[in-house]
Amino acid sequence: MLDLFSGLGTGVAISLALALFFVLAFEFINGFHDTANAVATVIYTKAMPPQLAVFASGVFNFIGVMAGGLGVAYAIVHLLPVDLLLNVSSSHGLVMVFALLASAIIWNLGTWYFGLPASSSHTLIGSILGVGIANALMTGTELSKGVNMQKAIDIMLALLISPLIGFAVAGMLLLVLKKYRSASRMHMTPEERKATDGKKHPPFWTRLMLIISSMGVSFAHGMNDGQKGIGLLMLVLIGLAPAKFVVDMNSTTYKIERTRDAAQHMSDFYISNEARLSQHIKLGHGNGGIEMPAIFKCDTAQTVPTIEALTAKLKGVKNYGELAAEDRRQVRRMLLCIDDAAKKVTKLPGITPQEKDDLNKLRKDLNATTEYAPQWVIVAVALALGLGTMVGWKRIVLTVGEKIGNKGMTYAQGLSAQITATAAIGIASVTGMPVSTTHVLSSAVAGTMVANKSGLQGGTVRSILLAWALTLPITIALSGGLFWLASQLG
């Protein structure tokens, strides 16, 4: 990290510093915007003092980011159209990064100010879709090709289904607790507990489970949301310091060989199945290598020649430091195009499940040296998210604790909601799908209110649903508009 700015001109160095600040600011805001949901129940039920709860939540967010992997990070990154990813180091690509970050920060701050549990994940995805759609309109590209539509559909389905699952599972879990622990004081609200027993805190075991499940939500939030910041930070570094970050400069010889071998195995598959594949997609023929233009779009007709060019360039390479900076940039572009073609082949009719599985395994090896993040990037995002957790939580806590249901939240409701949210977000993180901590937890709380026959406060529910409905179109319009305006000014 210490040599991050070395070799950069003054203007580029300033741009890089600003971009890094924007990404880390987004994660900081994400911390106090989203993680308030993680501590809302434990604070409202008085299981933990507020200051201790937010500090512990920040620590577990930090740990979650460090342990979370990169599946969600690159699921978010690959929402962008391939031509923008190919040329992210161009001024066009940098405008894209600033536009989507500015849009996400503006909407996150606005919803936090009004105490609405809106989703940072939803916000970021809308911002990414906005620049992708704007880029398609500006370049005359079909909208269906302007963004990775299949990835967008998968992510939106995850964002839609996960709150419904949270609502149902948390409600059922509460009913189970009411059936088998009906006489337990865990079904009291804090006010009822004080009036009945004269005590401020929940019963010991209930309190312990509330604390454990709350920290579980914080950990899962770090795993899922922290990765989004990592992906954005890598986009910035690739765009502004490509010589150092277009590929993993710390890649071992084994990783580089895996990358080259994966590409060669793909070529062998295409050539041996040429007759079958050519009915659906043109993959081209080898011609001993091709020249890679400075700005281009992936063309499946150049897939086999691109593989030949890649394997020739990586032949005998032990580490990426042996290649010139421009060669490393070309390697990344080739890998993106080869991966894009393989992804299209896996979706063709007639491809067997075994062939699809084999190609996906090859894609993983192919991307071993491009889908990465240096340790300092992960630590920086973890710190920003963890520190953000420790401020700004009060507005959301009141909404989640008192304004979703017509009655205050019982200990059992808080426990049911938190266990459900931890499981749902954790599973999504492991499978590489971004979900919303806000929506999952809020809907889980609503599910427990319905199961407890407490009813829902129409005004708050309408506000949350309105924020959910407006987030996507507003962030798409905002980021797309900023992208278009900055491109015109540039």
- Summarised one tens digit per residue, pLDDT across range 346-403 is 988 889 999 999 999 999 999 999 999 999 999 999 999 888 877 755 555 555 544 5
- Looking at residue 128, its pLDDT comes to 85
- Flag whether pLDDT at 65 surpasses 80: yes
- Flag whether pLDDT at 253 surpasses 80: yes
d(CA 463, CA 41): 20
With H, G, I as helix, E, B as strand and everything else as coil, classify residue 29. Answer: helix
- Flag whether pLDDT at 10 surpasses 70: yes
- Please check whether residue 4 lies inside any domain of the structure: no
For the ranges 25-34, 126-135, 212-221, the lowest mean pLDDT is seen at 25-34
- Both 24 and 97 in one domain: the answer is yes
**pLDDT grade for 300, boundaries at 50, 70 and 90:** confident
Mean pLDDT for 104-116 is 79
CA distances from 355 to 105, 142, 277, 368 (A): 42, 29, 12, 20
Q: What is the DSSP string of 174-188?
A: HHHHHHHSTTSGGGS
- Please check whether residue 468 lies inside any domain of the structure: yes
d(CA 373, CA 370): 9
- Both 81 and 185 in one domain: the answer is yes
- Looking at residue 338, its pLDDT comes to 93
Q: Where are the beta strands (DSSP E) in 297-447?
A: none
- Both 301 and 261 in one domain: the answer is yes
- Both 380 and 448 in one domain: the answer is yes
d(CA 148, CA 343): 11
- Flag whether pLDDT at 180 surpasses 90: no
Domain's final residue, options 366, 395, 418: 366
- Amino acid letter at 202? P
- Please check whether residue 2 lies inside any domain of the structure: no
d(CA 287, CA 265): 17
- Flag whether pLDDT at 108 surpasses 70: yes
Half-sphere exposure of 83 (CA within 13 A, CB side): 19
With H, G, I as helix, E, B as strand and everything else as coil, classify residue 142. Answer: coil
- Both 194 and 302 in one domain: the answer is no
| Structural domain boundaries enclosing 457 | 10-243+373-489
| 313-350 tens-digit pLDDT | 999 999 999 999 889 988 998 999 899 899 889 988 88
Domain's final residue, options 329, 351, 366: 366
- Both 303 and 447 in one domain: the answer is no
**pLDDT winner (highest mean) among 56-65, 112-121, 147-156:** 56-65
- Please check whether residue 289 lies inside any domain of the structure: yes
- Please check whether residue 344 lies inside any domain of the structure: yes
d(CA 24, CA 380): 8
**pLDDT grade for 288, boundaries at 50, 70 and 90:** very low
- Please check whether residue 1 lies inside any domain of the structure: no
pTM of model > 0.75: yes
Q: Is 459 exposed, middle or buried (0-12, 13-18, 19+ CB in 10 A)?
A: exposed
- Both 210 and 137 in one domain: the answer is yes
- Both 78 and 185 in one domain: the answer is yes
Q: Give the length of the chain.
A: 490
Six-digit token string for 79: 């929402």
- Please check whether residue 482 lies inside any domain of the structure: yes
- Please check whether residue 263 lies inside any domain of the structure: yes
Closest CA to 238 of 441, 468, 19: 19
With H, G, I as helix, E, B as strand and everything else as coil, classify residue 456. Answer: strand
- Flag whether pLDDT at 294 surpasses 50: no
Q: Are 420 and 219 in contact (CB under 8 A)?
A: no
Neighbours of 457 (CB within 10 A): 18
- Flag whether pLDDT at 49 surpasses 90: no
More confident: 93 or 370: 370
- Flag whether pLDDT at 147 surpasses 80: no
Q: Are 285 and 304 in contact (CB under 8 A)?
A: yes
- Both 301 and 174 in one domain: the answer is no
- Looking at residue 346, its pLDDT comes to 92
Total number of domains constituting the chain: 2
**pLDDT grade for 289, boundaries at 50, 70 and 90:** very low
- Both 96 and 14 in one domain: the answer is yes
**pLDDT winner (highest mean) among 176-190, 293-307, 339-353, 388-402:** 339-353
Mean pLDDT for 294-317 is 83
Q: Are 320 and 370 in contact (CB under 8 A)?
A: no
Give percent of the chain with pLDDT exceeding 90.
23
Mean pLDDT for 57-63 is 89
- Both 274 and 300 in one domain: the answer is yes
Domain's final residue, options 345, 366, 387: 366
- Looking at residue 142, its pLDDT comes to 72
Can you say whether residue 140 is alpha, beta or left, with left for phi > 0 and alpha for psi between -120 and 50 degrees? left
- Both 350 and 427 in one domain: the answer is no
For all residues of the chain together, what is the average pLDDT? 82
